[in-house]
Structure 1
Amino acid sequence: MAQRDTGTEQLIKDTAKRIFFSEGKFHATTQDIADAAGVNRTLLNYYFRSRDILFEQVAQEARAETSALLDEVFSAKIGFKQKLEKLIETFMEQGMKYPFREMYVITEMHRGDKTVPIEKINRLNNFLKEISAEMEQGNIKKMDPRQFCMNLFALMAYPLISNCLNRALFNISSKEYFELMHDRKKLIFEMIYQ
């Protein structure tokens, strides 16, 4: 049996991830991906058999990557203020790297399985408790901690998801827009801790 070239397989996955989640081309064909990776379509099909299998594998890995990074932040034994700053930094950096991943996750939840793994629910509940404690100490404005969470993620995710629209409205390049997003990390944190 022939030995699989894991370097080529990874190149194909990395290329697909870039095309799907950085460029937002969810309907890219196997030929589009093969061309961008510099391999022939037969080789791509050898590793993944179909575009759907490749897409699902890449999407699963992208979700796992983000989840691992966020788990690291949420489980860090640091103060809430530092944790929040690190969360904003991590989420925004991932969002700038893969601006269409969030759109994909939301679309998939609308299409099918809406269950969230219990460990993610527990992680969120622990974070909500930290938010409540910070509010009780008077460090951040009091509100329903769920509202705080939704506001925080809206401040981070919406500008990333709507980057094409915003670039057109402001008539700026991708480079300029991502400079705004780098500045935004600090602005979000400062909005919370005025």
Structure 2
Amino acid sequence: MAIRDKGTEQRIMDTAKHIFFAEGKLNATTQDIADAAGVSRTLVNYYFRSVDSLIDRVYREAMADLSLRLDKVMESDAPFKEKVAIFIEVFAELAIKYPYQETFVVKDINTADNAFTDEDRQVKTEIFLKQIKAEMDAGHIEQMNPIHFMMNLFALMSYPMIMRPMFMRIFKLDNEQFKQLIEERKALIFKTIFR
């Protein structure tokens, strides 16, 4: 059996991630990925067996990276408002770099075994919900169920990315114009959350 070359394997994954999440080519084939990575289709199939297997692996790696980054923010000792600002910044940075990643998140959410259902994630979410409640009790945030605060935050961040293609057509925006809107949106989200 041939020795697996981790560099080649990672190059294929990085190329696939760019094609799927940055370019939005959701129907890319193993041949498309092989051509873009500068390898043979046989090599892509050797490492990943199918385009579905490759998508799954790229997506899982991306979600693990996002979770790690968001966990770092949620677990930090930063003041709550600063924590939320960093949270928005991290999310927006990834949204600009990988604007079509949200499409995969929506697909994954509809499966029973997804990246958001592990027990560790539940514990971290409960801790963050308690912090939100403490901010409400201190009068820094309008009183509501803390889950609504998190839902509002995610809705304000995610919805524009999910609807990106439609918004770009309706408002006649190119990629740079949409990217600028997302940059502006970071401050708007913060102001909306902390009216």
TM-score range, shorter chain: over 0.9
What is residue 12 of structure 1 aligned with on the other side? 12
Distance in 2, matches of 1:71 and 1:168, equals 35
What is residue 109 of structure 2 aligned with on the other side? 109
Superposition deviation, residue 105 in structure 1:
2.1
Superposition deviation, residue 193 in structure 1:
2.6
Superposition deviation, residue 91 in structure 1:
1.1
Superposition deviation, residue 164 in structure 1:
1.0
Alignment of 1:108-127 (within 5 A): 108-113=108-113, 116-127=117-128
What is residue 97 of structure 1 aligned with on the other side? 97
Query: Given the two structures, how large is their TM-score scaled by the length of structure 2?
Result: 0.92
What is residue 38 of structure 1 aligned with on the other side? 38
**What secondary structure sits across from 2:60 in the alignment?**
helix
Across the two proteins, how many residue pairs are aligned to each other? 194
1:19 is matched by which residue type in structure 2?
Answer: I
**What secondary structure sits across from 1:148 in the alignment?**
helix
What is residue 23 of structure 1 aligned with on the other side? 23
What is residue 191 of structure 2 aligned with on the other side? 190
RMSD of the TM alignment (CA)?
1.6
Distance in 1, matches of 2:163 and 2:97, equals 14
The percentage of counterpart residues that share the same residue type is 48
Query: Given the two structures, how large is their TM-score scaled by the length of structure 1?
Result: 0.93
What are the superposed Cα offsets for residues 82-140 of structure 1, whole Å, 9 maximum, x if unpaired?
10101010111112222222221221232443671111111111111111111111111
Alignment of 1:1-194 (within 5 A): 2-113=2-113, 116-194=117-195
Distance in 2, matches of 1:109 and 1:153, equals 14
Q: Name stretches of at least 5 consecutive residues in structure 2 with no aligned partner.
A: none
**What secondary structure sits across from 2:110 in the alignment?**
helix
**What secondary structure sits across from 1:141 in the alignment?**
coil
Superposition deviation, residue 5 in structure 1:
2.7
Bigger mean CA deviation after superposition, 110-119 or 43-52: 110-119
Distance in 2, matches of 1:139 and 1:75, equals 20
Superposition deviation, residue 2 in structure 1:
4.1
